């Protein structure tokens, strides 16, 4: 637990701030705009038009598109001791940013405000590299973008208030955000009244040592759902550049459709297995507080998008998603037969080496797991080698089919469409709404296309497809 955090009980919070308990804020919305939705002066105008349609809202801003990638390069050059390169890379970010600002607001106040943040980072870079300050460089994107959005809203007559995410989003000593702590910090913030428009940064936070830190990449979605859950918002809108989550990968498959409604479980699975639209961890806080999440398209604001909420009575096969860069580790051991504690030993090795495991399958004599990153595995492989024979298969992908797969006939139907593929692992039954396959990455696109006919909102229709296409 964070030593500085004073864990108040809800009754005590009530004394501090009249806006607690948060259900008093039931008309509050959280709107998160991603990098492409804030990628130019024109896009920012659209985002602020969407914002102004709401009376009470918190706007969570990502960095303008591309900024975080460029800032990571700046931090890398700094770390390499290449000060000149780092400074000139920073200038390359600053120049277009300034010109977007000037297109929106024709006075120099905004440029001196954001310029001060650029200068602060430049002076850090002029000194020696300090690992704990790396995040201060990377956080610049969200800091300057949120200022630009807030000042523009004020410029066009909305008294928006800028909130500093590092003052309300603190990680505990497991590097995790805690919804109740965020609620407490909001309730103690004199700038936050719950009425009107508030603008803040996604992605950035403080770690348990109190240093500026960041969530994992794409983490602005997570900030939005944490804030939405903490304040018991009416709705969390994730504004992006596509009209919701699609039922298959639109980059590889023609004729995909946005899914209108998803349950929290289905959305979490799809987000994890490659549907890049939503950050995988962001569903949890919304689900815990039962706040609906809506994915909307800033390029087509009136399109319905995808609404994610408590279990919806979904039928049929809902969606297909794939995840690249997967490796299989197979541990085979005679000692596993009839023994207890063998799997615990295997997973203890993964825990010790901090290697996350995705899909797991077991037989009486072997256990197979998938992992994402196959670099630097030698120490892990060596230790696993003491438990049994270890085989590593690289260049694999995961294909996940989401829907009521346990309905009689559905698995047979899915397998029939995959019959020509080289399936290396199958995981079924962990939940009733997904079946996961591991295949060679070279077969991914073909397999996604082969599965497209099983998608249907109607159970009968998807089963009928099997009888007509199968042979
Ligand atoms: N700007 C951050 C990133 O690119 C966070 C986000 O956009 O969600 O990862
Ligand atoms: Mg994103």
> How far is it, in rounded angstroms, from Cα 224 to Cα 88?
32
pLDDT digits (tens, 9 = 90+) for 374-432: 888 999 999 999 999 999 999 999 999 998 888 888 999 999 999 999 999 999 988 88
pLDDT of residue 313: 64
pLDDT of residue 3: 35
pLDDT interval class at 100 (50, 70, 90): very high
> How far is it, in rounded angstroms, from Cα 226 to Cα 230?
6
Angle at 283 between CA 133 and CA 36, to 5 degrees: 60
> How far is it, in rounded angstroms, from Cα 67 to Cα 449?
34
Q: Which ligand is nearest to the Cα of residue 278, counting in written order?
A: 2
- Would you say the C-alpha torsion 210, 211, 212, 218 has a positive or negative sign? negative
* Percent of the chain whose predicted confidence (pLDDT) is above 70: 90
From ligand 2's centre to the CA of 279, what distance in Å?
6
Residue closest by Cα to atom 2 of ligand 1? 218
Looking at the predicted structure, is the pLDDT value of residue 175 above 70? yes
Tell me the best of 60, 70, 138, 202 to mutate to test the pocket of ligand 1, counting ligand atoms within 8 Å of each CB and taking the most.
202
Nearest-atom number in ligand 1 for the CA of 35 is 7
Give 73's contacts (C-beta < 8 A, 6+ positions apart).
89
Q: What is the DSSP string of 209-251?
A: TS-EEE-STTTHHHHHHHHHHHTT-SEEEEEESSSS-BSS-TT
Residue closest by Cα to atom 6 of ligand 1? 218
| For residue 264, cis peptide bond before it (omega within 30 degrees of 0) | no
Tell me the best of 30, 60, 68 to mutate to test the pocket of ligand 1, counting ligand atoms within 8 Å of each CB and taking the most.
68
237 φ, ψ (degrees, to nearest 5) = -105, 125
Q: What tokens appear for 300 in the block? A: 């087509």
Please answer whether residues 262 and 246 qualify as being in contact, where contact means their C-beta atoms are separated by less than 8 angstroms: no
pLDDT digits (tens, 9 = 90+) for 357-366: 999 999 888 9
Nearest-atom number in ligand 1 for the CA of 217 is 9
> How far is it, in rounded angstroms, from Cα 359 to Cα 362?
10
pLDDT digits (tens, 9 = 90+) for 209-256: 999 999 999 999 999 999 999 999 999 999 999 888 999 998 999 999
- CA 224 to the chain's CA centroid: 10
* Percent of the chain whose predicted confidence (pLDDT) is above 90: 75
How many Å is the maximal CA-CA distance in the chain? 75
pLDDT digits (tens, 9 = 90+) for 302-333: 999 999 999 776 678 999 999 999 999 999 98
pLDDT interval class at 464 (50, 70, 90): low
From ligand 1's centre to the CA of 128, what distance in Å?
26
> How far is it, in rounded angstroms, from Cα 367 to Cα 55?
54
Q: What tokens appear for 220 in the block? A: 């602005």
Nearest-atom number in ligand 1 for the CA of 222 is 8
Q: Is the pTM of this model over 0.75?
A: yes
pLDDT of residue 165: 97
* Range list of β-strands (E), 404-433: 425-428
> How far is it, in rounded angstroms, from Cα 21 to Cα 10?
7
pLDDT, average across residues 294-304: 94
From ligand 1's centre to the CA of 203, what distance in Å?
6
> Which residues are near ligand 1 (CB < 6 Å)?
34-35, 62-63, 68, 141, 202-203, 217-220
Nearest-atom number in ligand 1 for the CA of 69 is 4
Nearest-atom number in ligand 1 for the CA of 221 is 8
pLDDT of residue 462: 47
Supply the DSSP symbol for 437. E
Burial class (CB in 10 A: 0-12, 13-18, 19+), 313: exposed
Looking at the predicted structure, is the pLDDT value of residue 21 above 70? no
pLDDT, average across residues 257-274: 86
pLDDT of residue 465: 57
Instruction: Calculate the average pLDDT of the chain.
Output: 89
Look at 78-92, 135-149, 162-176, 255-269 and tell me which has the smallest mean pLDDT. 255-269
Paired strand residues for 101: none
Please answer whether residues 202 and 38 qualify as being in contact, where contact means their C-beta atoms are separated by less than 8 angstroms: no
Q: What tokens appear for 88 in the block? A: 């000139």
Looking at the predicted structure, is the pLDDT value of residue 114 above 90? yes
pLDDT interval class at 272 (50, 70, 90): confident
pLDDT interval class at 18 (50, 70, 90): very low
**Three-state secondary structure call for residue 295:** strand
pLDDT, average across residues 117-139: 97
Please identify every residue whose CB atom is under 5 Å from ligand 2, which is an ion: 34, 218
């Amino acid at each position: 637990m964070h030593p500085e955090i004073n864990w108040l009980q809800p009754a005590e919070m009530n004394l501090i701030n009249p806006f607690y308990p948060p259900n008093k804020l039931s008309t509050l919305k959280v709107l998160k705009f991603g990098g492409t939705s804030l990628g130019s002066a024109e896009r920012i105008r659209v985002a602020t038009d969407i914002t102004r349609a709401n009376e009470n809202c918190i706007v969570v801003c990502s960095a303008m598109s591309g900024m975080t990638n460029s800032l990571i390069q700046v931090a890398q050059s700094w770390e390499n001791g290449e000060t000149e390169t780092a400074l000139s890379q920073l200038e390359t970010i600053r120049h277009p940013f300034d010109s977007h600002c000037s297109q929106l607001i024709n006075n120099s106040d905004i440029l001196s405000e954001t310029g001060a943040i650029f200068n602060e980072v430049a002076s850090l870079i002029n000194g020696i590299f300090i690992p704990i300050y790396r995040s201060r460089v990377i956080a610049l994107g969200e800091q300057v973008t949120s200022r630009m959005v807030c000042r523009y809203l004020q410029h066009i007559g909305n008294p928006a208030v800028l909130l500093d995410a590092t003052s309300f989003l603190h990680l505990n000593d497991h590097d995790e955000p805690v919804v109740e702590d965020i609620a407490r910090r909001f309730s103690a913030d004199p700038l936050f009244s719950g009425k009107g428009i508030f603008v803040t940064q996604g992605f950035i936070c403080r770690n348990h040592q109190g240093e500026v830190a960041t969530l994992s990449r794409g983490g602005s979605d997570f900030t939005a759902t944490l804030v939405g859950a903490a304040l018991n918002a009416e709705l969390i809108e994730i504004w992006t550049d596509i009209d919701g989550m699609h039922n298959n990968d639109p980059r590889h498959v023609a004729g995909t459709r946005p899914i209108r409604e998803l349950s929290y479980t289905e959305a979490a699975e799809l987000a994890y297995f490659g549907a890049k639209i939503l950050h995988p961890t962001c569903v949890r806080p919304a689900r815990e507080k039962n706040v609906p999440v809506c994915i909307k398209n800033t390029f087509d604001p009136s399109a319905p998008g995808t609404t994610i909420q408590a279990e919806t009575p979904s039928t049929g096969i809902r969606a297909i998603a794939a995840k690249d860069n997967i490796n299989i580790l197979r541990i085979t051991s005679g000692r596993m037969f009839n023994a207890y504690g063998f799997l615990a030993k295997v997973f203890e090795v993964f825990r010790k080496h901090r290697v996350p495991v995705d899909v797991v399958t077991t037989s009486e004599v072997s256990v197979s797991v998938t992992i994402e990153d196959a670099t630097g595995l030698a120490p892990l492989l060596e230790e696993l080698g003491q438990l049994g024979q270890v085989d590593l298969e690289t260049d694999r992908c995961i294909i996940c089919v989401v829907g009521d797969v346990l309905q009689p006939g559905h698995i047979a139907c899915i397998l029939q469409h995959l019959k020509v593929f080289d399936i290396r692992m199958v995981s079924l039954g962990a939940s009733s709404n997904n079946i996961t396959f591991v295949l060679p990455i070279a077969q991914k696109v073909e397999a996604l296309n082969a599965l497209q006919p099983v998608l249907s909102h109607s159970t009968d229709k998807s089963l009928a497809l099997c009888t007509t296409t199968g042979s």
